[in-house]
Structure 1
Amino acid sequence: MTCDITLFVNPTAGRGRGARAAQPAAAALRAAGHSVRTVLGTDADDAVDRAREAVRAGTGALVAVGGDGMVSLALRAVAGTDVPLGVVAVGTGNDFARAHGLPVRDPAAAGRAAAAALKEHGGRPVDLGRAGERWFGTVLASGFDSRVNDRGNRLRWPAGRFRYDVALLAELAALRPVPYRIGLDGAPPEEVEATLVAVGNGPSYGGGMRICAGARCDDGLFDITVVGPCSRRTLLRVFPRVYRGTHLTHPAVTVHRVRSVTLEAAGITAYADGEPLGPLPLTAETVPGAVRLLVP
């Protein structure tokens, strides 16, 4: 079966890789017999509006070309519809693509994978998280990690990812536990102190940090990772283990598997798929099979 496919492109993803990736991805899709059109936006809201227009017009698939931020925008257009989502992962982190075994920084291979999935099954249902009107595919972060993001976004110097290294050091110097109220699956909230709380629909964020290492995108459950109060020395010692997921055995770490969670904490901004979501409090829930994903 062939169809009209919409490429949803972030030209600035991965320091310009998004723009360069669109062409080989489109070529692979055309080689499989599909017609391809490209959607760009003047900003995030305009891009989402254009993607939604393509979905309403009956596009055969929406293929996000960029990083996790672009996937997050694409989810706003396709979640809860019958239009499948493809991913050409050429961003910085690419955690969503990695979680689903999709090619990373190989746009031609990603285009071929999307075309093959369209031919074989038309998209497999996978879970998403939802907080209010926002969907997310990987991790909702709050606490220490979101404070690093907040500070990094405020800095004007240095440029690029070095801003977040500076922000990390500054937040380490100011490290303190956050008083949370956490409600799991509708139960009355419990008061806990935590360094961070991460809500995982998928296992990783930040380009491979497996903060919710056991999370799966097809079980209808979140993995909630709660890192309790800890010293700077403990955090620095445990931090490298996040890339392997072995931090989950540390005594300061607790994991819950639930369908919904309510988080309350003063002065904390939540981030989902690496993008600012808004201040706490919020409630997040899993939505099984919320999107059809073009995966092998």
Structure 2
Amino acid sequence: AGSGNDFACNTLGLPRRPEAAIEHAFDGKPRAVDAGQANERYFANSFSVGLDADIAAGARQLKKIPFMTGMRLYYSSTVRQLLFGYRQCPWLCFSLEPADPEAPSAETFQRYVLLAVTNGPTYGSGFRINPEADASDGLLDLCTIRYAPFGRALRLLPVVKRGQHAHLPEVHFYRIQRLIIESRLPLNAQMDGEVFHGQRFEVTVLPQALLVRY
């Protein structure tokens, strides 16, 4: 019953037909999968800050329009945010565990399009932001995309949606147990499509925390 159903359909592989999904609920094998925590909140599939969190905030407003659901909802919000909010991309710094020598200094603020932590490969109704993510490996996957000029960002959007962005110079991937993000200014954050606000976020993996039939 979600707007995108990424955790159910793309992470767990549940069918989109309700009657088929119900069969899994009754007859599926219980399996343990990871979850995440950001500050005092919990998420099953995704946490992020930056452009995509602003897109999630915009999607909440667009839900009021009839038939605005799923990919139509998120794509419409994405286009609107790119056109009218892209130049407000935030200045962020982050540190992660386990440490990665390719990660920037934890004290260095840089401008980012987004920092997206996911348990599964997709969010936002099919955007393959972390295409190699595995919800049962005891780790969360982080994708960082540094700020790029607006014209280039428009060209990158379909590449990111298909999960073909690993080669881009603005993009880095990490597998993490813990992540701390700080922002120069308070900003939107989203967890599984729900929006809240903050300036400092501590994100940790909760290995095998959910028992799910699928």
TM-score, normalised to structure 2's length? 0.83
Alpha-carbon shift at residue 209 of structure 1 (Å): 0.5
Q: Aligned residue for 2:83?
A: 172
Q: Distance in 1 between matches of 2:92 and 2:39?
A: 19
**1:268–1:128 CA distance, 2 compared to 1 (3 A):** same
Q: 1:102 aligned to 14, 25, 28, which one?
A: 14
| Higher share of residues assigned strand | 2
Q: Distance in 2 between matches of 1:108 and 1:239?
A: 34
The code of the aligned residue for 1:268 comes to L
Q: 1:244 aligned to 162, 168, 180, which one?
A: 162
1:75-90 correspondence to structure 2 within 5 Å: none
Q: Aligned residue for 2:113?
A: 195
Deviations 1:65-97 (A, max 9, x none): x22xxxxxxxxxxxxxxxxxxxxxxxx311001
Alignment of 1:227 with 2:134, yes or no, is: no
Q: Distance in 1 between matches of 2:202 and 2:119?
A: 14
1:41-190 correspondence to structure 2 within 5 Å: 66-67=1-2, 92-97=3-8, 98-104=10-16, 106-117=17-28, 121=29, 123-153=30-60, 160=68, 165=76, 168-176=79-87, 177-185=89-97, 189-190=106-107
1:246-265 correspondence to structure 2 within 5 Å: 246-265=164-183
The code of the aligned residue for 2:79 comes to L
Deviations 1:95-151 (A, max 9, x none): 0012111111x121111112222xxx4x11100011133221111121011123334
Q: Distance in 2 between matches of 1:248 and 1:140?
A: 20
The code of the aligned residue for 1:262 comes to I
Unaligned runs of 5+ in 1: 1-65, 68-91
Alpha-carbon shift at residue 213 of structure 1 (Å): 1.3
Q: Kindly report the root-mean-square deviation, in angstroms, between the aligned alpha carbons of the 2 structures.
A: 2.5
The code of the aligned residue for 2:14 comes to L
Q: Distance in 2 between matches of 1:108 and 1:163?
A: 24
Counterpart secondary structure, 1:183: strand
The code of the aligned residue for 1:128 comes to A
**1:236–1:291 CA distance, 2 compared to 1 (3 A):** same
| Number of equivalent positions | 201
The code of the aligned residue for 1:218 comes to S
User: Highest relative contact order (Cα 8 Å, sep 6+), 1 or 2?
Assistant: 2
| Higher share of residues assigned helix | 1
Aligned residues with identical type, % of pairs: 31
Unaligned runs of 5+ in 2: 100-104
The code of the aligned residue for 1:189 comes to A
Q: Distance in 1 between matches of 2:83 and 2:135?
A: 32
Deviations 1:204-262 (A, max 9, x none): 11110011111110111111101001011111111112232101221111111110111
Q: Distance in 2 between matches of 1:232 and 1:101?
A: 35
